[in-house]
Structure 1
């Protein structure tokens, strides 16, 4: 009986430990991708250290705002988002476009209009680069 309790506690401990380790690895992977993205954006937009120092806090706000909208799109529903019993996906897309317009203006104050507009292209290019590299790793 004592042996069974000890075995159960050891199994439980290792299960919790492996779950925690898994979450830490996912967080590290995400952080590595974010770091690579920051380096890519900095290089492609030709940001000076001063511009980068002002740009990336705005970028972090922008990124978090988009994440919140996308989570809401997948998981929740804001008020009045249902029409005839179905979710109005276009409402979320419209929110994303508004956020992008708002942040393009904020980015322009730091890096100018041309590079602020170019940012969205660079961001898309990075996603494509990331997707291709993931495809290559799977092969």
Structure 2
């Protein structure tokens, strides 16, 4: 009797771990491709790269954390029909929370740019913004093509 209960549980656990590992592997692969793309686009010297990547990675991690916080706040509230159930006070509180996160993202980006100014030229900072947008656009295009095919 216990095996009938334990076996499906173990299968579910193994499947969940495998799926999570697969997602983590894909995330790491995308990050590696992004690093290579940005390095190539910015034409970083060895010295610049040594100073640039720790700043960039810290920024990217913090930005992802804030965006995750924002999405969690939004997704927790916006299940089908849940918007209609919000009181005006709850909606106002959610809006304030969203604004605070947006302000935090803006402040983070300003600090990031300021930190980078001591490491790479202003022109390379602008190239970075373009490289990030181009990489994301290319990634989305590949995802769309993969879904169609």
Structure 1 length-normalised TM: 0.83
Q: Residues 90, 10 of structure 1: CA spacing in aligned structure 2 closer, same or farther, 3 A cutoff?
A: closer
Q: Residues 110, 85 of structure 1: CA spacing in aligned structure 2 closer, same or farther, 3 A cutoff?
A: closer
In the aligned structure 2, how far is the partner of 1:130 from the partner of 1:37?
10
User: For 1:32-111, what aligned pairs fall within 5 Å after superposition?
Assistant: 32-76=29-73, 84-88=92-96, 89-111=98-120
3-state SS of paired residue (2:118): helix
Q: Residues 85, 104 of structure 1: CA spacing in aligned structure 2 closer, same or farther, 3 A cutoff?
A: closer
In the aligned structure 2, how far is the partner of 1:86 from the partner of 1:25?
33
In the aligned structure 1, how far is the partner of 2:92 from the partner of 2:144?
39
In the aligned structure 2, how far is the partner of 1:83 from the partner of 1:16?
37
**1:113: Cα distance to partner?**
1.6
- The CA RMSD measured in Å over matched residues stands at 2.1
3-state SS of paired residue (2:44): coil
Q: Aligned residue for 1:128? A: 137
**1:41: Cα distance to partner?**
0.4
Structure 2 length-normalised TM: 0.78
